[in-house]
Structure 1
């Protein structure tokens, strides 16, 4: 038996380990009690958010208390006949649990009860936790309170299998079994603490999660001029319902503001409903009142914003890029901040207005075009702003077969029925380009002129005489823009097709 081979030093070591575990269990019991009381307080203050979590915690606590008390009673019974419960060197026999749990090859009623407690606690804790949450804790509980495989067995070092309870509790010295029971109690306390912390802190984490926060800028003023040093600070604030003020007392430049008319309370603070007012600095002062732990907590408000005059410069930008292309209808946005679109005008060769601030530029000859925008400010002053754009031609198209450019591989029959096209690769505008003709060159044969974008009889005849591996050239591709045939595209790059049969 294992007990016969265990020295007094080892027995004492087990005893010392048991004492440390019991001390740790006492401390964790107090800690868990604090967590439970904290969750109870939260549930009483905010039943909507914490009520169901508190019920989960109560279930786990009851399971833990019952299991812990059972193990404590078992330990008390185990050491009842000893003169000194801490004289570990005399605890070298295995009689107590051997007789209590086992009867031949079967378990006694007490042995079955011991197993039932393990399984009931494990499954009860897992079922008490919300579905689809706390998967890490559930896995830890399964591992800590595992009773072997599906048949309740574990594999020994020699490869044989033995019932879990026999493997752990049959034939061991009393002090070792006592320590194992105390370790089970430690596992209960650890599980209880993980659950309570996750239920409490998990909900608090959700409450303070970055998903429930937003940012805002706080500065000495809300408008700065070029050359000023910006002194703003990024402020992080909550935006969930727990951060909604219960009341507010605010003034704007000394004038008392009215809830509903000038502002409204919402998650994260107060939404202002006031007008920007006359140009200049404006101050909002007062207090916001929040509820915290059942008490009203005031928060001082002392902020300012600036209203500035309308700008006097136009904003002109090409919607696609910083150039305009000849032969293309270039969309443009032309506006002057602070001036309605119907009071803004723009002119340039090839420029036409569509609606609002939307224009189209169709540049003609030359390398640049200057757009002049003008508008009338509310004070009657007219401003004029010019902007110059480069004019570029449409890039050189590339010949394509089946939408592939450059060098292509395909069977001869596929090429015979393919459509020859031209593409503008990496061009920001969608243009419909048609092909009116091309030339085909098969090695060792004269070039064939084709009208249209499909192979004619002569081209197909030349292809039939081609051999596998021949590089067929398609060149002199005549391409045009379908809705602007007057624009002459650059020479189209040829495409080479290597025949695979």
Structure 2
């Protein structure tokens, strides 16, 4: 559709066509915002991985942060340029009045050449392309080729087979709103490129993780502490456990225990030793593609005389969520469950060592545990949990989020759902209402989670290529009607026919 508009610029454009450019610009900006949210989620996911495994993911984070910086700089430059162009007209919302090319022609060109601002525009695009490919490095040459083609300022050949400079071909003599839309399309290319790079680099990292060379030896003990006189029991396994992968040789503390291999695991059964800390280390050897490969492992266990404090752990994570029933487990080594006393706000026992905490408005709460050992000694322990709200939900259509493409007939019968795909709890959400914006039409509020007759009427007016935005979505947790979700991300639907 955009190419058709460009072809019509040689004639005197009608107000409707000028408005169509403006509406296309608005749709592209909405798409850019949705892509920004998707990219932000990917960056946040990477940050979480860096927090968990700094050495593994920090180099990738450094590279992608550079990509983010380069993209933001070029995107911001184009945003500032659009502001300057809008300032040249009295009403930046009336697209029908933006039919003159005079301001941008004077801004970009001097005679047959470029003005200082025009040359800066070309330099910014070339610098972006070069900076991005340099940041990616040689190992991502395939992406570099795509970026070079996507942001090429090479001369163009018109329908008369004449060679024309890129900037002249795309901007000289065009209505102002067409040029602003063209710049917005460049911003869309920036967001899409950033998204492509994120998915490509993160995808390669995950592929590398499943490679055999990245397997790790893991010591998995049945307990983390043992009494004097007990045997240390447990298993040694390879990361990405595979029962069919059997090592050729296993050394544990310089002792050959290959005979203890069973179903892909190395069974540990040895005296615990004296009171204190003890090291477990060794090597698992196997052959990959005919080449001997060693995977080392190490761990530490403690031999203690008796427990001194309770062991408290959150079944989900180190926080509890407001409005939900958060499961936690409480145990004390060597003490029966019936002899352990647990106290906390909103606490309810649901099984042996199992509890539910339902926090209120507080920002943190404590779980206090006390017990009397068989020796008569009293022990107590306390654990502080942070209380957080349920995070932002994601609007979903047929299990997809962000920007999706559908026929108009399918959009009419859509059901709008919401989910928390990266949340630790499996919650059922129900959408109770949302706003719908069809290009060229006023936004309306729709009650419930399906299209009503008023919204269907607006959708029927949409054309191929239009992007329908669904935003300000209201949702609740089924069974928790008193708790309101703070925010639900928007979703966009592109009409494909």
Using structure 2 for the length normalisation, give the TM-score: 0.45
Using structure 1 for the length normalisation, give the TM-score: 0.44
Larger radius of gyration: 1
